[in-house]
Structure 1
Amino acid sequence: MNEQAHKVVIVGGGAGGLELAAKLGRKHGPAHVLLVDKDGGHIWKPSLHEVAAGTLDIHRESLSYFMLAKDCGFTFIYGEVQAIDREARLLSLKPVFSDTQDEVFPARSIAYDTLVMAVGSKSNFFGTPGAAEFAIALDSTNEAERFRLRLLHQLVLASRRKAAQPGYKLNIGIVGGGATGVELAAELLEACADASFYGLNDLDPASDIRITLLEGSPRILSALPEKMSAAAQKLLESRGVVVKTSVRVSSVETDALIDGEGNRYPADLCVWAAGIEAPAWLSRLGLEVNRINQLVVDSNLRSSDPAIYALGDCAQASWLSEDRPLPARAQVAHQQANFLMDTLSDRINGRQPQDRAFHFRDYGSLVSVGHSKGVGNLMGVLSGKSWFVEGLLARLMYMSLHLMHHWAVLGPVRTGTLAIGRLFMKRAAPRVKLH
């Protein structure tokens, strides 16, 4: 192909993919940088639990890829991957249909010189009977919105049933005590606490709504320091969440969760947040993948095809200082996007990329446990020490991570304007979205 028009095609506009497209686009322009995504707008995935609880409005939070493409200098292509011809270096996209099944975009093929896979991950049901049918996984804005609407309907029904059935409780079950499960449980507490202000006066959230969090490991947040998981569990339980550890769900029914010992946990609503896997179609590309469909990449983040790179949750990359792969965390994708800038710039400019090795620097983890609480473990990468933080400080630091992501995509001026605008909007907007 013509080296002057070297095309880098990035598939997936999540945290890592979008940051990479924005930074590359500003440097090289739309002729060289193309972003492909099956959705028209971007939301920072770690905030989907807020969308599900109704405390974050996607219509205010979502960033249009078309707008970002214009502002950041890349080309956005709306569509879903159907196949990849690695020999011809062609990406085939499915046609896009409207809600009335009119064809908006036909099936297309896109040529690439370098392909970057940043398609993220989805929930792993581990073959659990009934999980795919009766549980909701917060993998996308559509799923988060589906849960939010079902939650509203269940709250209204619970208010009516309480009058007819004394002692009735609305049961919400969350499978998985990782960051998503813990943050959702805390966010639901705050959302449901406001129910009485919106006409559901017969419903007392403290006594009529029960949230149960089930975790298969001996403790929640098992991938994080023990002090952090203990603090998070204490906060949840002090606010009424039932936390059960060492419980493995064996099946999901329409109104209950069943564990391996036959115990039954009532659940009018169920969220599955136990483990992840990469999209199954990655395993059909003829590239090396692991058991959860992640593309295995080398220290340069390159797959077994030298023209294809991968980053974020869909990639298995080695943690060079540890004897294990890198975790599926937003800061990993952020650092990988920054790392690939030089490599892809070299390829765009017709130069042989230097042999660089990606080194992940762990800055710690932060978990939101409501809008005024949080817990975190901050790593001192210079001193070799770590600090435990909790409360409002941890929550403010957690919020800053979202702003850092916007900073990488929008730049400092627009990020500052956006942050100030949202601060004022919160004064005028309802606490929970009920429409």
Structure 2
Amino acid sequence: MAATPHRIVIVGGGAGGVHLATRLGRRLGRPRGGQAKAEILLVDRDASHIWKPRLHEVAAGTLDSGQEQVSFVVQASRHHFRYWPGEMTGLDRARKVIRLAALADRNGVEVLPARELSYDTLIIAVGSRANDFGIPGVREHCSFIDSRDQAEEFNAVLRNQVLRCLAGPDEATLDIAIVGAGATGVELSAEINTALDFAAGYGVGDLRRRLRLTLIETAPRILGALPERVADAAQRELRRQGVTVLTGAQVVAVDAEAMHLKDGRRIPAPLKVWAAGIQAPAFLDRLDGLETVRSRQLVIRPTLQTSRDDDVFALGDCAFLLPEGETHPMPATAQVAQQQAEQLARGLEARLAGKPLPEFRYKHGGALVALGHYNAFGSLGRLGLLGDGTFIQGRFAQWTYVSLYRRHQLGLYGFWRSLMFWLADLLRKAHAPRVKVD
């Protein structure tokens, strides 16, 4: 009787999770001699994946998420893993099972009851979300864009606000406030301007003239994780677009009509977005004794194993890894998550063969921010052809930014399928509207 294959359960289908499932499926899930080396399961409450760094485009309406999504069922069938719908809520490390919440449809009707799923090796890659810091009114009155559903919901609200503005008097304004001037907040600010420019090209009125967009940041400057030269260039471009950038400004309360700052200022904005801070999902804080930090991230070792369980791994935004000799943990970026997924795919294959796990070594590939169709700025990392720290802008920076997504597709689909997707994108852009107008 054949032995049961080692079961590897990956929770979370973001940039790290879907890459890991795809790579492990190719390496370990393909049946050879009648049986695979391992059974690979990907667990996610959504049925498809969209690259999180593009959610600001979905929110602004300049990206059709239906065209860009990766179906987990299709990806699994082509790359020898299984998709398992569900949302993790708990863990029993002694029994080696995870708990999944009941699955309901959009009308709240239960489709599947609460369940348990066993594992031999568990990888948690559930990402992160914005942190409201307990500020009154944020959850009630602000939009978030941490998921595709949230981004699409914001876009629907944005289009409604645009219609109200167009139907109002000539002096009516479109007031928007975005809190958090990291990459998400900065790129969303520029992408909204881009969307209104595109809409004007279809005869939807001169909306840019009416836009009053305020970007609020608590820190002394925007894009704190990026080099200062990149941040300064991005701030100049935002101001050229008409965005009001407030730094050193702390939001202390939010109501239906405005943001309230600590210094007494009131920023009127019926449409508000919260993109500040990061924190991992709340259930990680009570995950059967695993060690977490204040942001709820799971503490991991350089091997990507959690600090208290050799059979439980974590990667990406939900993982806290402080490299030896460093004062800051690994940043919460898709670049880090994908590199961790690549290493863990090799490492787990070695582990099943009785070899030790390698330690993670991050290779900084640079930092980039794209400001809609206007401009892009960045700094090349050690992988850059022009040398570490080289400042780039304009068309070259925009091309480099786009190449990050193309590399993401390459890892998921392989060269030939990726090439077909790239050609399809070019054909679609030649005839499809550049912004969602219906």
- Matched residues, number: 427
CA distance in 2, matches of 1:321, 1:76: 39
Once the two structures are overlaid, the 10-residue window that deviates more, 204-213 or 135-144, is 204-213
Is 1:91 matched with 2:60?
no
* Structure 2 counterpart of 1:274: 276
Asked if 1:323 corresponds to 2:346, the answer is no
Aligned-partner Cα distance in 2 for 1:91–1:343 = 22
CA distance in 2, matches of 1:385, 1:51: 32
1:314 matched to which residue of 2? 318
1:54 aligns with 2:58: no
User: How far did residue 35 of structure 1 move?
Assistant: 0.3
Which residue, 114, 123, 131 being the options, matches 1:124? 131
User: After superposition, where does 1:16-415 map in structure 2 within 5 Å?
Assistant: 16-29=16-29, 32-163=39-170, 167-198=171-202, 200-201=204-205, 204-285=206-287, 286-303=289-306, 304-320=308-324, 322-347=326-351, 349=352, 351-380=353-382, 385-415=388-418
SS in 1 for 2:430: helix
The answer to whether the 8 Å contact 2:199/2:437 transfers is: no
Question: Which residue identity does 1:187 align to in structure 2?
Answer: E
Tell me how far apart the structure 2 counterparts of residues 334 and 82 of structure 1 sit (CA, whole Å): 24
- TM-score scaled by length of structure 1: 0.95
Deviations for 1:116-136, whole angstroms, at most 9, x for unmatched residues?
000000110011110111111
Aligned to 2:390, what secondary structure does the other structure show? strand
One-letter identity of the residue aligned with 1:412 = F
Deviations 1:89-139 (A, max 9, x none): 011212222234443333322110000000000110011110111111111
Return the letter of the residue paired with 1:265: I
**Letter paired with 1:255:** E
Superposition RMSD in Å: 1.7
CA distance in 2, matches of 1:3, 1:305: 24
Is the Cα–Cα contact under 8 Å of residues 372 and 392 in structure 1 kept in the other structure? no
Partner secondary structure for residue 276 of structure 1: coil
CA contact (8 A) 1:8 1:344 kept: no
**2-structure distance, mates of 1:408, 1:278:** 25
Distance 1:385 1:179 in 2: 21
Structure 1 stretch 192-201 or stretch 147-156: which is displaced more?
Answer: 192-201
**Quick one: which amino acid aligns to residue 109 of structure 1?**
E
The 3 A distance-change label for structure 1 pair 250 and 3 is farther
Q: 1:32 to 1:18 in 2, by over 3 A?
A: same
Query: Secondary structure at 2:91's aligned position in 1?
Result: strand
Preserved contact between residue 380 and residue 387 of structure 2 (Cα < 8 Å):
no
Give the Cα separation in 1 of the matches to 2:197 and 2:55: 19
The answer on whether the counterparts of 1:69 and 1:75 sit within 8 Å (CA) in structure 2 is yes
Residues 100 and 217 of structure 1, relative CA distance in 2, 3 Å threshold: closer
Q: Secondary structure at the match of 2:429?
A: helix
1:14 maps to which residue? Answer: 14
Q: Equivalents in 1 of 2:226, 2:201: separation in Å?
A: 37
TM-score by length of 2: 0.94
> What is the CA distance between 1:384 and its match in structure 2?
6.8
Q: Distance in 1 between the 2:146 and 2:159 partners?
A: 20
Q: Report how far residue 32 of structure 1 moved.
A: 1.4
User: Which consecutive residues of structure 2, in runs of 5 or more, have no partner in the other structure?
Assistant: 31-37
Q: Deviations over 1:174-212 (max 9, x none)?
A: 1011000110011000101233345533xx223211111
Distance in 2 between the 1:118 and 1:248 partners? 31
| Cα distance in 1, alignment partners of residues 412 and 388 from structure 2 | 31
Deviates more, 1:308-317 or 1:334-343: 334-343
User: In 2, distance between residues paired with 1:84 and 1:144?
Assistant: 30
Shift of 1:294: 0.2
Q: Decide whether the 8 Å contact of 1:320 with 1:359 is kept in 2.
A: no
- 1:130-160 Cα offsets, whole Å, 9 max, x none, are 0111111111001000110000000000111
Structure 1 outlier segments of 4+, above 4 Å: 381-384
Quickly say closer, same or farther: Cα 1:353–1:272, change in 2 above 3 A.
Answer: farther
The secondary structure found in structure 2 opposite 1:18 is helix
What letter is aligned with 1:418?
A: F
Going from structure 1 to structure 2, the CA distance change for 1:122 and 1:180 (only over 3 Å counts) comes to same
In the alignment, residue 313 of structure 2 is paired with which amino acid? Y
Per mean C-alpha deviation after superposition, the further-off stretch among 96-105 and 355-364 is 96-105
Measured after TM superposition, the shift of residue 385 of structure 1 is: 3.4
Q: Which amino acid aligns with 1:20?
A: L
Partner of 2:34: none
**Is the Cα–Cα contact under 8 Å of residues 156 and 200 in structure 1 kept in the other structure?**
no
Shift of 1:4: 4.6
Q: Map Cα deviations across residues 217-245 of structure 1 (whole Å, 9 max, x no partner).
A: 11111121110000000111111111111
> Whole-Å Cα distance in 2 between the matches of residues 279 and 273 of structure 1?
15
1:331 maps to amino acid = Q
Identity of aligned residues (%): 43
Name which of structure 1's ranges 100-109 and 284-293 shifts more when overlaid on structure 2: 100-109
Q: 1:288 to 1:353 in 2, by over 3 A?
A: farther
